[in-house]
Chains A and B, each alone.
Chain A
Amino acid sequence: MNPFTILNISPTADAAAVMQAAAAVLRDKRHSAREIAEARQLLMNPEVRPVLVFLHSADLTSLLRPHAAAEESDNGTTALQRLDIFD
């Protein structure tokens, strides 16, 4: 169970945001009240919270980084020359 996903908040959300999110999610009825209550309790526990933040967050920047290719003006087809071997 990922409490951040259940409450739809980021790992940096403070206690007030957690309370607010729990109420909002409860109204949405996307999760059971039990799941929401458990998620809220976990995130309000100062001992457990750092573990959960570490466990459920990951820096994906390096995985999503754009390809570092040399910019080319055309699509690279200029150098293609028709071959006559099939004629």
Chain B
Amino acid sequence: MSDNLSAWGRTLCGRLLRLLFYRSRAADAEAAEPSRLLLAADSYNTGFALAKLGDFTGCLRLWQSLDSEAAEFLSQKAEVGRLLIRALHRRLDECPLAQEAEVSLLVDEFALADLPGGAELLARCRNLRLAMLWQEERLDEIAALADAADWLQPAVLEIHAKSACQRMAAETAVAPAAIRQFIDCWLTLLFHPQVGPQDEALRQTLLDYGADLVRKQAGLRQTDGTALLRQWQETLALLQRLRGLTAGPVHAPMLALRAGTADQLCALIRSSAETFTQNEDWLAAGAAYSAAAPALLLIREGDYDAAQAALADAETVDDPFAAWGAATVRTACGTDLLRRGAGRDASLLLAAGPVQWNAELEQQLLAALNRDETEEGGRLTACLNILALLPEHAPTRAEFCAALSNQVVRLRCSGEAHPRLLAAVMAQAAALNPGDEFAQLLHDQVRLDLELAALDEAFDQDCFAQAACIAAASRFPQAVEHFFETAGQAAAKIERGDYADREAAIFQLEELLAGASKADAAHGATRRIRQVLDGLRRAGAGQ
């Protein structure tokens, strides 16, 4: 018994002595100027003493000056960090809202988020901060935390959605990004099984309230008001549909991406094809949560360049939802390029993959067709390339035919475009609407123009055989007549002696005669050429 007591006494004495030693080192550290702690051993020992006394922040501050990479030191430092995390949790347990700010600073200072349990502490600080901001009605600061929010937590969603709604109700003109955020949060909240309204009548009242807020803001905006209203309607329809497929929460696409539930919702839609009456609705719903979702959201924000850049990510995935989304993005980006007058870029983009023809694309294409040509036919050619993609049964084919015809009439009168381009345009116009008599006549006219131009070009280069071929193949009497008229003039020119070399003149006339005979051997001009040729030959024989 006495031995036990003596052993216990020795242990107690030892502990007391160690404690006194640590306290004395800690007191030394407090008294000493930092500059005096020159030796690493001093820093380490003092830090160790502080850690033993439970002052983990003091310990880590001292150890931060040690640049040792020794594994046992790094391990001990991490252990002290872990102890600090535990201590900070205890501080938060005692006084959560008051301690949050200081704890957050310490998490940053010692990079505790990288240690085991640190991420949890950081998340707890965020939650406490959110709760405090909500209680103090600091709505703008809540909105600033949205990017780093944990949207999987119902309470986090609830606070963000309700504060966004309060901001919408209080402020006169809200930024578009904040309105979009409100739409996503509010609708997700109203269909949330835990934090959403449990009563259907209240849900409808709150939906109407949200719709009024969006309508009010959309009415104040000149450019993107319609897009905001469309986002409300589309997201509402999507969530209403998805709610019928699962008892769990359904996030709006943007929040699903942030919360990491997009794949899960995509799989849910994939397995529920039979509940969608239209295949297009099923594809559109799936696309909103597919690999194309980021690009689709960029389109929603009006950032078409970024959406186009994100298109590649969506197209590398072999998935019908992603493919549908990619086609939607391509169509929207192509439409935007047309709107901006970049017809060539639009045609390259739209021709690069599947496109979804819609009223907006057709409207922009028509507008591009009706604009004055400033690119020497470049834009018109680009429009033709896009029109080549027009579905066979599109109801707007007649409208496009008329627009093309009008543009050709204008260009033909002003002489701004080459007949080759006009003929190509009218070929497409006539094919778009075979019943349009005006277009068919105009098509003939520009084809005739093209043949006349080709004949002139051939005669200018003394390519009589080529000119004759054109005339022989032509179905236009005017072109044939033009050939003979020009051929007669060429023969008269030779007869007048414009050719100094008689051999060359005979050669040209022989070629001309061969061509003319091929076109019409009995034509007066053919006979006239033969006469001139005979005359030259005779004159040559007489010499």
Contact = CB atoms under 8 A, between A and B. Distances in A.
Interface residues of B, number: 52
Contacts of B79: 79-80
Interface in B49-96: 51-54, 66, 68, 70, 72-73, 76, 79-80, 82-83, 86-87, 89-90, 92-93, 96
Contacts of A75: 54, 83, 87
- Max chain B C-beta neighbours (<10 A), residue from A56, A63, A72, A87: A63
Interface in A36-77: 47, 50-51, 54-56, 58-64, 66-67, 69, 72, 75-77
Nearest to B75: A83
A79 to B, nearest CB: 8
Contact of A50 (B96, B166, B202): B202
A67 B92 contact: yes
Given A62-B153, A69-B86, A69-B89, A55 B162 contact: yes
A2 B70 contact: no
A67 B134 contact: no
Contacts of B54: 75, 77
Given A60-B131, A63-B127, A51 B205 contact: yes
B169 to A, nearest CB: 8
Contacts, number: 99
Interface string B149-186: 00001111011001001100010000000000000000
Contact of A85 (B72, B87, B159, B205): B72
B128 A2 contact: no
A72 B97 CA distance: 24
A1 B170 CA distance: 7
Contact of B166 (A2, A63, A85, A86): A2
Chain A: interface size category: 20 to 34
A54 B195 CA distance: 10
A63 B155 contact: yes
Nearest to A76: B83
Given A83-B44, A86-B41, A54 B202 contact: yes
7 contacts: A62-B153, A64-B127, A66-B96, A67-B90, A77-B52, A83-B48, A86-B44
